[in-house]
Amino acid sequence: MTTARAHPNVALIKYWGKQAKPGNFPATPSLSITLSELTTTTRVDDADEDALVLNGNPSRDAKIVEFVAALRTEFGFGPLAIETDSNFPTSAGLASSASGFAALITAIDAHCGLELDAAVRSQFARRGSASAARSLFGGYVTLEPPNWQARPLAAPEHWDLRVAVAVTSTAPKKIGSTEGMERSRLTSPYFDAWVGTAAADFEDAVAAINQRDFDKLTDVAELSCMKMHGLMLTSKPALNYWNGASVDCMNLVRELRAAGHGVFFTNDAGPQIKAICLPAEIHRVAAELRGVPGVIEVLESRLGGGAAADP
Ligand code: PMV
C-alpha cells in the first residue's frame, strides 16, 4: 500500500473559464498559495477490481473514475483500491478536488512505479481539475500560458503569509466548477473583459509577491476575486456562491483593514471566506471571523509544501 498527501491551494488570481478545446485548459492565468494545515491523504493498493472510498463512503465519482481510466490507458497498471480522506469540508469551495487529484496522481505514481516528476504529475492532475495542477507544488504557484504548466514561483519561506478559512456551510456546492465555468463563458457579457484583463492582474500579483508588497497584493487579489464573482453573478442563470455570512465576513475583513490591520479576503466557488494576513494578525483575524453569526468554524493555516508520497 502507498500513501500520498497533498494540500488544497487558494487562488489569489483566479481561474474561471476554460478554453474551447479538449484537455481542460484554463482561459486565464492563475496564481495560488498552497496551505499546510489542510490535507488530503490518499492510499492506493492492488485489488481484484477498482474500488474507490471517499471520506469513508464507497463512491463512483465520475471525474475520478475517468481520471484513473485515462492514466491506465497511458501506463497500463492493474486494478486499484483507492481510499481518500480530507481533514476539511469537501466539495464546498475549499479546493478538495485540487488536493484530491494532486494526492491521487502522486499516490498512483509511487505505487505503480511510474517515476513521473512533479511537473509531469501536475500536467496529469490538470486534466482532472486545472486548479489541481497547482497543488503539486508548495508555497506560491503559477499556472500560465503558453503551455499551462504549473510552476513554483516562491517557496513558503519567501513570505510567511497566514490564512484563516471561515467555514460558513458544509453543504456540497450547487453547481460544480466545470458546469459553472461553461455557463459563464457562454452567457456572461463580461467574459471577454475577464479574459482580456487577467494577464495584467496576474503580472501585478507576481510583482507583489516578488516584492513582498502586502498592499499591492491586497488590491489585485480582491480585484481578481470580485471580477470572478462579477462574472458568476452575470451568468445566465446567475451563479451566486455566497450566503449572508460570506458577505458579512468580507465586510468584516474590509473593516479590519480600514482600522489598520493587514488582511484581505478571497473566496471561490462556495460560501467559505479565506482571509489572508501577516503572521502578527492571524489570531485577531480568526477570532473576529469566529464572532460572525453563521460562521461554523475558522481553520488557520500557514503556507505549505507540495504533494508527496510517504517513503
Ligand atoms: O479546478 P477546478 O475545476 O476545481 O476550478 C477551480 C476554480 C476556483 O477555485 C473558483 C478558482 C481557482 O483558480 O482555484
Atom of ligand 1 nearest to the CA of 14: 13
Query: Quick one: pLDDT band at residue 170, thresholds 50, 70, 90?
Result: confident
Please answer whether residues 114 and 120 qualify as being in contact, where contact means their C-beta atoms are separated by less than 8 angstroms: no
Inform me whether the pLDDT recorded for 143 exceeds 90: yes
Query: How far is ligand 1, taken at its centre, from the CA of residue 131, in Å?
Result: 5
Helix, strand, coil percentages for the chain (3-state, nearest 5): 40, 25, 35
Segment 146-165 shows an average pLDDT of: 97
DSSP 158: G
Query: Quick one: pLDDT band at residue 230, thresholds 50, 70, 90?
Result: very high
Compute φ and ψ for 275, nearest 5 degrees.
-105, 125
The half-sphere exposure of 66 on its side-chain side, counting CA atoms within 13 A, is 8
Inform me whether the pLDDT recorded for 194 exceeds 70: yes
Helix residue ranges per DSSP H, 96-190: 96-112, 118-128, 177-187
Atom of ligand 1 nearest to the CA of 132: 1
Write the secondary structure of 143-167 as one string of H (helix), E (strand) and C (coil).
Answer: EECCCCEEEEEECHHHCCCEEEEEE
Please answer whether residues 299 and 88 qualify as being in contact, where contact means their C-beta atoms are separated by less than 8 angstroms: yes
Query: How far is ligand 1, taken at its centre, from the CA of residue 49, in Å?
Result: 31
Compute how many other C-beta atoms are within 10 angstroms of the C-beta atom of residue 211. Answer: 11
Residue 127 exposed, middle or buried by CB count within 10 Å (0-12, 13-18, 19+)? buried
Percentage of residues in the chain having pLDDT higher than 90:
93
Inform me whether the pLDDT recorded for 287 exceeds 80: yes
Inform me whether the pLDDT recorded for 126 exceeds 90: yes
d(CA 296, CA 12): 23
Percentage of residues in the chain having pLDDT higher than 70:
99
Please tell me the predicted confidence (pLDDT) of residue 171: 86
d(CA 291, CA 256): 13
> Quick one: cell of 101?
487529484
d(CA 206, CA 101): 25
91 Ramachandran zone, left/alpha/beta (phi>0; psi -120 to 50)? left
Q: What is the torsion angle, in degrees rounded to the nearest 10, for the CA atoms of residue 252, residue 256, residue 257 and residue 259?
A: 140
Q: Which of 177, 265, 272 to mutate to test the pocket of ligand 1 (most atoms within 8 A of CB)?
A: 177
Query: Quick one: pLDDT band at residue 18, thresholds 50, 70, 90?
Result: very high
Please answer whether residues 158 and 139 qualify as being in contact, where contact means their C-beta atoms are separated by less than 8 angstroms: yes
Q: Which of 10, 14, 184, 233 to mutate to test the pocket of ligand 1 (most atoms within 8 A of CB)?
A: 14
Query: How far is ligand 1, taken at its centre, from the CA of residue 260, in Å?
Result: 31
Please answer whether residues 90 and 96 qualify as being in contact, where contact means their C-beta atoms are separated by less than 8 angstroms: yes
What is the distance, to the nearest Å, from the Cα of residue 280 to the centroid of all Cα atoms in its chain?
A: 25
Compute how many other C-beta atoms are within 10 angstroms of the C-beta atom of residue 303. Answer: 26
> Quick one: cell of 300?
488557520
d(CA 117, CA 280): 36
Segment 101-124 shows an average pLDDT of: 97
Pocket of ligand 1 (CB under 6 A): 11, 14-16, 30, 95, 97, 129-131, 177-178, 268-269
Inform me whether the pLDDT recorded for 156 exceeds 90: yes
Inform me whether the pLDDT recorded for 94 exceeds 80: no
Please tell me the predicted confidence (pLDDT) of residue 216: 98
Please tell me the predicted confidence (pLDDT) of residue 93: 63
Q: What is the torsion angle, in degrees rounded to the nearest 10, for the CA atoms of residue 198, residue 203, residue 206 and residue 209?
A: -100
Please tell me the predicted confidence (pLDDT) of residue 241: 95
Place of cell 501577516: 278
Task: Please state whether the peptide bond connecting residue 237 to the residue before it is cis, i.e. omega within 30 degrees of 0.
Answer: yes
Please answer whether residues 34 and 303 qualify as being in contact, where contact means their C-beta atoms are separated by less than 8 angstroms: yes
Please tell me the predicted confidence (pLDDT) of residue 92: 63
Please answer whether residues 38 and 138 qualify as being in contact, where contact means their C-beta atoms are separated by less than 8 angstroms: no
Helix residue ranges per DSSP H, the chain: 62-75, 96-112, 118-128, 177-187, 191-211, 214-233, 244-258, 282-290
Please tell me the predicted confidence (pLDDT) of residue 96: 72
Query: Quick one: pLDDT band at residue 97, thresholds 50, 70, 90?
Result: confident
